[in-house]
Every structure is written in structure tokens, then in C-alpha cells.
């Protein structure tokens, strides 16, 4: 079945540094990927929609300059948390849909990335 | 705007007992409804979906859910739970069936299974 791979699965970084998270669709192409953030014991909140070859669409309240999204190919989207601070510590999850299967194809979720900023 | 309410934060069930997880939604048009399961530190796995037709939908792992428009509900059920069902369960509503539109998730229900 379709698989979405996220890397790394967990990362610890120092405050002020930047961290890049990768989301790959392993056996399908995805013109659109979604990035979510999940705080402990809370639901997933959509941060942005990543569009291949164009700018990402950010949800209200999400800082574009802080959470940089790049979707340079049909199988890879990256989320870079710039100048990370402890309040950015969270669980980040991506999802993608097989573009060739059309609107009826389900979203496939990655296993998430646990970010801890010290 | 669409919204989802999962009234139960945590439910504990004995292995072999039946299960029902509640989900209420708010949406101005015909909703597209989903149940996902999340194991600790993992992503989400789709259990089942509803977008039209039979209001009782069957999913994977023996789960089913019933769409009740009059109650704005989409409760998840399983007749006999297994220890491996312990996880976090999320109900979600979308504007279209699987489309690029945003999914709105509920806050989740954590399921604990006791022997």
C-alpha cells in the first residue's frame, strides 16, 4: 500500500537553530501534501498545504517565515522550523494523497516527527 | 466552519467488551466523515469513512460507524475489543471526500484496554 515516510522520527535541537523535516511519498506522486502539528494530548492542527512547484498555503496564525515549506518534487516536501524555540516543541505529521488516483484516493499519513527544542 | 466534538477524552474498556466512541460534527452541508487511529508516536491510520449511501459503514479491524444526520453524530463501534485496539482515536470531518480541502479533527479519545 501507499506509504509516506517522514524523517527524522525524532530530533532534539538547541534554541535558535533550524530543523528540517522531510516527508516523502514512497510509491506514489503527490502534488499536494499537508503539514500538521499535534501538541500532547491534543488533536492535529493543519499548519499548511504544500503545493508542488508553487508556494505553500498557510493556515491562519501560522508564521510563514518560521515554518518554511518546500515542495520541489512530486514525492518530497520539507518543513523547516527556523530559529526554533522551546514552544515549537511538538509532534509534526505530514500527509499526502496519490495525485494519479484522483479525489477519491485517501490521505496517507507519515509516522510523525517529535521535535524537542532545548 | 466545520467542527468536530469528541466528548470522551479517555475511555477504559475490558478486553472482549463492546466499544462505542462518540463523535459529533458541525457542518453546513453534507459532511464527509472519517475515523482515524493513532498508536503512540505514530501517524494516523484510516479506519473508515462515510461520504454517501449506507449510513452504517464498515472499516478495518472490525470497526464500524453509523452516520446519524438527525443527531449530527458519527459514532465508532466495535463489538469486541482486543488489547491491540488501545490507541488514540480521532474523528474528522472534511468538506469533500478525500479532496484537497482541509480535514478538521476532533480532540481525540484515548482508549485503554484492561485484561
Distance from CA of A112 to the nearest CA of B (A): 5
The predicted pLDDT at position A44 comes to 87
CA distance A48 to A94: 10
Considering only CA atoms, give the Rg of chain A.
14
- Considering CB atoms only, which of A32, A103, A105 is closest to B96? A103
pLDDT tens digits, one per residue of B55-96 = 999 999 999 999 999 999 999 999 999 999 999 999 999 876
Of how many residues is chain B composed?
115
pLDDT at B12 over 90: yes
pLDDT tens digits, one per residue of B25-56 = 998 777 889 999 998 878 889 999 998 888 99
Residue of B nearest to A43 (CA): B107
Q: Output DSSP code: residue A59.
A: P
CA distance A28 to B67: 31
pLDDT at B7 over 70: yes
Cβ separation B43–A49 shorter than 8 A:
no
Query: Using an 8 Å Cβ cutoff, are A32 and A52 in contact?
Result: yes
Query: Using an 8 Å Cβ cutoff, are A48 and A56 in contact?
Result: yes
Helix (H, G, I), strand (E, B) or coil at A43: coil
Burial class for A98, CB neighbours closer than 10 Å (0-12, 13-18, 19+): middle
Q: Longest Cα pair distance anywhere in chain A, in angstroms?
A: 42
The predicted pLDDT at position A56 comes to 93
What's the grid cell of residue A84? 526554533
For residue A51, what are the β-bridge partners?
A32
What's the grid cell of residue B90? 480521532
The predicted pLDDT at position B25 comes to 94
- Considering CB atoms only, which of B99, B103, B105 is closest to A103? B99
Q: Which chain A residues are Cβ-neighbours of B107 within 8 angstroms?
A: 42-43
- B45 in reach of chain A (CB within 8 A): yes
Residue of B nearest to A35 (CA): B102
- Considering CB atoms only, which of A46, A106, A110 is closest to B43? A110
Of how many residues is chain A composed?
118
CA distance A3 to A98: 10
Nearest to B36 by CA among B24, B22, B49, B27: B49
Confidence of residue B97 (pLDDT cuts 50, 70, 90): low
Low-confidence ranges of chain A (pLDDT < 70): 1-2, 103-104
- B94 in reach of chain A (CB within 8 A): no
Q: In angstroms, how far is CA B62 from the centroid of its own chain?
A: 13
The predicted pLDDT at position B104 comes to 87
In which residue are the cell numbers 503527490 written?
A: A30
Q: Which chain B residues are Cβ-neighbours of A7 within 8 angstroms?
A: none
Cβ separation B46–A43 shorter than 8 A:
no
pLDDT at B99 over 90: no
- B98 in reach of chain A (CB within 8 A): yes
Amino acid at each position: 500500500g501507499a506509504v509516506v515516510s517522514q524523517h527524522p522520527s525524532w530530533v532534539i535541537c538547541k534554541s535558535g537553530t533550524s530543523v528540517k523535516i522531510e516527508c516523502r511519498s514512497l510509491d506514489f506522486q503527490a502534488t499536494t501534501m499537508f503539514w500538521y502539528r499535534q501538541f500532547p494530548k491534543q488533536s492535529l492542527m493543519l499548519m499548511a498545504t504544500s503545493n508542488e512547484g508553487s508556494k505553500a498555503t498557510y493556515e491562519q496564525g501560522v508564521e510563514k517565515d518560521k515554518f518554511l515549506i518546500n515542495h520541489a518534487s512530486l514525492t518530497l516536501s520539507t518543513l523547516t522550523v527556523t530559529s526554533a524555540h522551546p514552544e515549537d516543541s511538538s509532534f509534526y505529521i505530514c500527509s499526502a494523497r496519490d495525485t494519479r488516483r484522483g479525489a477519491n484516493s485517501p490521505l496517507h499519513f507519515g509516522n510523525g516527527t517529535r521535535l524537542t527544542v532545548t | 466552519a466545520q467542527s468536530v466534538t469528541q466528548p470522551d477524552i479517555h475511555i477504559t474498556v475490558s478486553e472482549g467488551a463492546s466499544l462505542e466512541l462518540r463523535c459529533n460534527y458541525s457542518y453546513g452541508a453534507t459532511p464527509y466523515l472519517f475515523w482515524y487511529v493513532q498508536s503512540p508516536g505514530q501517524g494516523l491510520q484510516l479506519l473508515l469513512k462515510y461520504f454517501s449511501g449506507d449510513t452504517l459503514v464498515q472499516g478495518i479491524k472490525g470497526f464500524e460507524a453509523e452516520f446519524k444526520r438527525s443527531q449530527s453524530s458519527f459514532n465508532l463501534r466495535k463489538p469486541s475489543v482486543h488489547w491491540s485496539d488501545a490507541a488514540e482515536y480521532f474523528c474528522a470531518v472534511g468538506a469533500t471526500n478525500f479532496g484537497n480541502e482541509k480535514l478538521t479533527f476532533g480532540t481525540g479519545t484515548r482508549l485503554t484496554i484492561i485484561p
